[in-house]
Amino acid sequence: MTDHGKPSSPQYNPGKGEGSPVGIALLGHGTVGAQVLRLMQEYSDELEHRIGGPLEVKGVAVRNMEKHRDSVPAELLTDDAFGLINRDDVDIVVEVIGGIDYPRELVLAALKAGKSVVTANKALVAAHYQELGDASDESNVDLYFEAAVAAAIPVVGPLRRSLAGDRIKSVMGIVNGTTNFILDGMDSTGADYDEMLAEATRLGYAEADPTADVEGYDAASKAAILASIAFHTPVYASDVHREGITNISPEDIKAARAAGYVIKLLAICERFNNEEGQEVVAARVHPTLVPRSHPLASVSKSFNAIFVEAEAAGRLMFYGNGAGGAPTASAVLGDIVGAARNKVHGGRAPGQSTYANLPIADFGEVYTRYHVDMSVEDRIGVLAEIAKIFTNHGISLRTVRQHQGEDHARLILVTHSAREKDLEDVVEELKQLEAVRGIESVIRLEE
């Protein structure tokens, strides 16, 4: 790419010609890699017709050559990933290793060697979106990463191609199956967080170390990718405001239910004008109250769903399996077919477009609604004291609910749309108010 994210003008790729084989280097043979290899073998005849030439696996790079792998011919296995990438008979490199630093070296080496790349690595793409895009442009090769966002759900392709002529206003959705499984179970069974995390681990939805999922890191990487594509602006995981679900309690779930909401971990990417009139973008991941009438409220178990709102197309929803070996491999294989077609027939897929290069909004400038749950003294005048604090910061209250305790009252306030910075100031002031015994939770609300 040239300055300001404008693509350079690489020479046209004429292609290898109808019937030519396309060499594949597979980096990684874990859950996803094994499924990719299986599907390439199982669908080989159909894929050849779709591509115009056969796919030929030239090698499978693994870290542990001693591990027994029945599904991989011994002559394909190698622990020299760089050597495999640089073979003359390799046209496409498929990276399904995971992590950032080592895969980055491999992917950049592949792109610089003139190999197209297909990756399912969300953390890598989110951390090095611009760098990888620049490298693919400079070498006139493809970089595909459909599986990096929501496994089998096709959303990257539609954003890059089908909606390329539209103007995206927002992208919002459930992009992590583990957290959705946990929150859905807490809502439907009354279980607490620890019980549902244990169940998610038992069923294989949660890793032995679930931090990336439950603390929102996984969703933040996906939000960064979605925002980068949708708004033609490089957005990195470090730009995404991130909160996890570990502090969501059964009491929060019950309060949400009583008010007609369900709690979901949402990734929200939006374009808006700040108070100076400047167009900016923001991406955030946090627990969110969603009305039970909203389609996202019915997304259960480990499923994902993503809403896209565009000026001309209106609202679109993408729904399906957002995790798992086979669903992720399906998206990877779709990308392989696209890259292989271009190798056979010539041309390139759409590259990264970051021409807009919009500023990233400070999280404090973001507007949304809030559900504030607090424990207060049960006496006359407390509500007036609290309401005055909200008013002093320009925040109006939409609803107020009160529940009596033995020696205190529980107040649940829902605000109209307010600025994040103002709400933070309100919460700090409430904590200093003598009548407030404690702020139980502050959860954002989207409708």
Instruction: Show binding-site residues.
Output: 27-34, 122, 207
Binding-site entries for L-homoserine: 207
Give 255: exposed, middle or buried? Use CB within 10 Å, 0-12, 13-18, 19+.
buried
| Length of the chain in terms of residues written | 447
What span, in angstroms and rounded, lies between the C-alpha atoms of 244 and 215?
4
Q: At which residue do the structure tokens 């096709």 appear?
A: 154
| Angle, helix 382-392 to helix 420-432, in steps of 10 degrees | 150
What span, in angstroms and rounded, lies between the C-alpha atoms of 424 and 417?
14
Q: DSSP H helical segments within 318-434, as ranges?
A: 325-345, 382-392, 420-432
What span, in angstroms and rounded, lies between the C-alpha atoms of 167 and 155?
15
- Choosing from 58, 222, 264, 343, the catalytic residue is 222
Strand order in the sheet with 143-144: 77-78, 55-61, 22-27, 92-95, 116-119, 143-144
The amino acid at residue 370 is Y
Whether 115 sits among the annotated catalytic residues: the reply is no
Q: Are 231 and 281 in contact (CB under 8 A)?
A: yes
Of the candidates 257, 263, 283, the residue with the CA atom closest to the CA atom of residue 442: 263
Q: Are 177 and 302 in contact (CB under 8 A)?
A: yes
What span, in angstroms and rounded, lies between the C-alpha atoms of 209 and 211?
6
Binding-site entries for NADP(+): 27-34
**Which of the 8 DSSP states describes residue 152?**
T
Tell me how far the alpha carbon of residue 78 is from its chain's centroid: 32
Q: Which uninterrupted H or E stretch holds 254?
A: helix 250-258
Q: Are 255 and 412 in contact (CB under 8 A)?
A: yes
Q: Which uninterrupted H or E stretch holds 32?
A: helix 31-42
Binding-site entries for NADPH: 122
SS3 call for 216: coil
Angle in degrees, CA 106, 217, 241, rounded to 5: 120
Q: How far is CA 247 from CA 253, 369, 395, in A?
A: 11, 19, 25
Please list, in sequence order, all residues whose beta carbon lies within 8 angstroms of the beta carbon of residue 131, skipping any fewer than 6 positions away. 108
What span, in angstroms and rounded, lies between the C-alpha atoms of 365 and 272?
10
Instruction: Enter the tokens of residue 105.
Output: 């070296």
Give catalytic residue positions.
222
